[in-house]
């Protein structure tokens, strides 16, 4: 049968007394009387069923059991004190929780976070993924969601203006069977992402390739997975332009067709009106929207040739 865990104040009395080997000094450190320290240690020894100290004429000495117990208790007390100070200490600021679409965080936000940290080093930022959480269950201060900008009871700021861009590996684009025009997709694996309203069927119709079977291919629950498989040369993913600019620029992916199709969906910063009362939330929102505007201005002037490799 397991021993019942002793009360924390008994353990603190033991830790201080064992470290200082003096009941009087331990009492002073803990703002207690020497009698209170002695009483707590006697109760601790009684519960443990073992003596922890040898009371000597000229001081204290730990027993064998006390020497074994002391390092464990000391480490536990120090860790608890450190954690308490870190989480609840003076000057502590609660973390700003930003819940983000995982693909947006991975392929857009993550590379920009160092700039935010340089501008606002005092803001404790916590990034949460939205993969396993329903919108109604979110306890985040700010959300980054994909959709058409309409969430009842919430405000939203548009972050991206996307086009749908088929992407694949350079080896796949240059290999056989050929991949020169949308109709060539009939002989290639399509990589689908569940949850997007505008998918392959929409793109094929807009591109004049309705004879391609839009139902064939692999299905994924995140665009991250589809882009990874596309990069490995296993198919063609239908990317959102804002998320693949860096992948196209680096050559990790190529866009084999010059045509792009505008989508009604976009990434939005979503929040309750009262969230902006929090100055940290307001600062992050202002920074993020400015970054999104800069990105749009830097890319909207580019022609379709920017995507052709």
In the chain, what are the domain boundaries? 8-88, 96-160+266-299, 163-263
Q: Which two tokens stand for residue 276?
A: 């902006």
CB-side neighbour CA atoms (13 Å) of 30: 26
Output the pLDDT for position 21: 93
Q: Answer whether 96-160+266-299 and 163-263 agree in fold.
A: yes
Output the pLDDT for position 12: 95
Output the pLDDT for position 306: 43
Output the pLDDT for position 115: 97
Query: Measured between alpha carbons, how far is 166 from 201 in angstroms, rounded to an integer?
Result: 12
CATH number 3.40.50.261 given to 163-263: no
Residue 23 phi, psi dihedral angles, 5° rounding: -65, -40
> pTM of the predicted model, to two decimals?
0.69
Query: Measured between alpha carbons, how far is 263 from 240 in angstroms, rounded to an integer?
Result: 9
The label of the residue with tokens 């860096």 reads 246
Output the pLDDT for position 86: 67
CATH class of 96-160+266-299: alpha beta
Which residues lie across from 190 on neighbouring strands? 236
Q: What is the DSSP string of the chain?
A: -PPPPPPHHHHHHHHHHHHHT-HHHHHHHTT--HHHHHHHHHHHHHHHTS--EEEETTEEEE-HHHHHHHHHHHHHHHHHHHHHHHHHSTT--PPEEEEE-HHHIIIIIGGGHHHHHHH-TT--EEEEE-TT--GGG---SEEEEEESS--TT-EEEE----EEEEEB-HHHHHSSS--SSGGGGGGS-EEEETT-SS-HHHHHHHTT-TTS-TT-SEEESSHHHHHHHHHTTS-EEEEEHHHHHHHHHHTSSBB--S--EE-S-EEEEEE-GGGGGSHHHHHHHHHHHHHHHHHHHHHTT--GGGGB-
CATH class of 8-88: mainly alpha
Output the pLDDT for position 304: 38
Q: Which residues of the chain have pLDDT under 70?
A: 1, 86-87, 89-93, 131-138, 301-309
């Amino acid at each position: 049968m397991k021993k019942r865990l002793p009360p924390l104040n008994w353990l603190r009395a033991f830790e201080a007394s064992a470290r200082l080997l003096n009941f009087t000094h331990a009492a002073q450190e803990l703002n207690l009387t020497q009698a209170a320290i002695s009483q707590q240690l006697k109760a601790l020894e009684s519960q443990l069923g073992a003596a922890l100290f040898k009371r000597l004429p000229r001081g204290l000495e730990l027993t064998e059991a006390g020497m074994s117990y002391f390092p464990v208790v000391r480490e536990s007390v120090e860790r608890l004190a450190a954690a308490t100070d870190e989480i609840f200490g003076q000057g502590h600021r609660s973390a700003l929780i930003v819940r983000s679409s995982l693909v947006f965080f991975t392929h857009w936000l993550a590379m920009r976070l160092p700039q935010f940290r340089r501008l606002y080093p005092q803001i404790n930022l916590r990034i949460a993924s939205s993969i396993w959480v329903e919108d109604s269950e979110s306890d985040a201060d700010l959300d980054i969601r994909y959709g058409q900008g309409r969430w009842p009871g919430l405000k939203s700021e548009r972050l991206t203006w996307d086009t749908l861009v088929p992407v694949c590996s350079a080896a796949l684009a240059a290999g056989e069977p050929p991949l020169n025009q949308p109709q060539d997709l009939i002989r290639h694996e399509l990589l689908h992402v569940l949850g997007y309203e505008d998918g392959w069927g929409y793109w094929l119709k807009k591109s004049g390739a309705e004879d391609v079977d839009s139902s064939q291919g692999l299905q994924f629950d995140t665009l991250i997975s589809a882009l990874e498989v596309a990069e490995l040369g296993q198919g063609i993913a239908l990317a959102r332009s804002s998320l693949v600019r860096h992948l196209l620029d680096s050559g990790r992916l190529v866009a084999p067709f010059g045509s792009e199709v505008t989508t009604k969906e976009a990434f939005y910063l979503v929040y309750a009106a009262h969230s902006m009362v929090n100055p940290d939330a307001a600062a992050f929102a202002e920074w993020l929207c400015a970054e999104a505007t800069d990105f749009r201005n830097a890319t909207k002037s580019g022609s379709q040739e920017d995507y052709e490799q």
